Amino acid sequence: MAFYVKVGNVPPKRHITFYKDDGTSLYREELFSTKGFSGIYSNKYHIYMPTQVEKIGEYPIDHWDDWPDAPLQYYHFFTDEKKTTGDIITSRNAFLKNVNCVISTANVSEDSDIFFRNSFAHELLFVHRGKGKFLSEYGTLPFEQWDYIVVPKGTTYQMKFEDYNDVKLFIIESSTPFDIPRHFRNEYGQLTEDAPYYERDFKVPQFTDPIDELGSFELNLKVRDRHFRYILPHHPFDVVGWDGFLYPYTFNLQEYAPKVGKIHLPPPVHLMFTTQHFVVCNFVPRLFDFHPQSIPAPYYHSNVDSDEVLYYVHGDFMSRKGVKEGSITLHPMGIPHGPQPGKTEASIGVKETDEYAVMIDTFQPLRVTKNVKETMVENYSQSWLAE
Ligand SMILES: [Fe+2]
Residue among 13, 46, 4 at smallest CA distance from 241: 46
For residue 339, how far is its CA from the centre of ligand 1 (angstroms)? 9
Task: Please tell me the distance between residue 115's alpha carbon and the centre of ligand 1 in angstroms.
Answer: 38
- Burial track 176-211 (b if 16+ CB lie within 10 A, e otherwise): bbbbbeeebeeeeeebeeebbbeeebbbbbebbebe
Indicate the length of the chain as a whole number: 387
What 3 state SS string does 315-381 have?
CCCCCCCCCCCCEEEEECCCCCECCCCCHHHHHCCCCEECCEEEEEEECCCCEEEHHHHHHECCCHH
Question: How many Å lie between the centroid of ligand 1 and the Cα of residue 304?
Answer: 11
**Count of beta carbons in the 10 Å neighbourhood of residue 373:** 13
| Cβ-Cβ contacts under 8 Å for 85 (sequence gap 6 or more) | 91, 107, 109, 110
CA distance 203 to 372: 34
pLDDT at 155: 98
- Predicted pLDDT at 62: 65
Interval between CA 337 and ligand 1 midpoint (Å): 6
Ligand 1 center from residue 185 Cα (angstroms): 26
C-alpha of residue 329 to centroid of ligand 1, in Å: 10
Give the pairing type, strands 214-223 and 115-118: parallel
Are β-strands 327-331 and 307-314 bridged in parallel, bridged antiparallel, or unpaired? antiparallel
- Report the separation in Å between the CA atom of 297 and the middle of ligand 1, taken as the mean of its atom positions: 11
The pLDDT, as a whole number, for residue 208 is 93
Cα of 327 vs centre of ligand 1, distance in Å, is: 16
* Residue 363 CA, ligand 1 centroid: distance in Å: 13
Expressed in angstroms and rounded, the spacing between residue 331 Cα and the centre of ligand 1 is 7
| CA 54–ligand 1 middle distance (angstroms) | 50
The total of other beta-carbon atoms located within 10 Å of residue 130's CB is 22
The strand pairing partners of 45, in sequence order, are 29, 241
Cα 189 to ligand 1 centroid, rounded to whole Å: 30
The closest alpha carbon to 164, from 108, 83, 104, 112, belongs to 108
Dihedral pair phi/psi, residue 69, rounded to 5°: -100, 25
Complete DSSP assignment for 7-49: EE---SSTTS--B-TTSSSBPEEEEEESTTTTS-EEEEEESS-
Close Cβ partners of 287 (under 8 Å, ≥ 6 residues apart): 260, 351, 352
Residue type, 291: H
Ligand 1 center to 301 CA (angstroms) = 6
* Per-residue pLDDT in tens (0 to 9) along the chain, 387 residues: 678 999 999 999 999 999 999 999 999 999 999 989 999 999 999 999 999 999 999 998 766 788 999 999 999 999 999 988 899 999 999 999 999 999 999 999 999 999 999 999 999 999 999 999 999 999 999 999 999 999 999 999 999 999 999 999 999 999 999 999 999 999 999 999 999 999 999 999 999 999 999 999 999 999 988 999 999 999 999 999 999 999 999 999 999 999 999 999 998 899 999 999 999 999 999 999 999 999 999 999 998 999 999 999 999 876 677 899 999 999 999 899 999 899 999 999 999 999 999 999 999 999 999 999 999 999 999 999 975
What does the alpha-carbon distance between residue 91 and residue 112 come to, in Å, rounded to a whole number?
12
State whether the Cα torsion 302-308-311-314 is positive or negative.
Answer: negative
Between the CA of 225 and the centroid of ligand 1 the distance, in Å, is 30
338 Cα–ligand 1 center, Å: 7
Rounded to an integer, what distance in angstroms lies between the CA atom of residue 208 and that of residue 159?
Answer: 15
CB 303 within 8 A of CB 333: yes
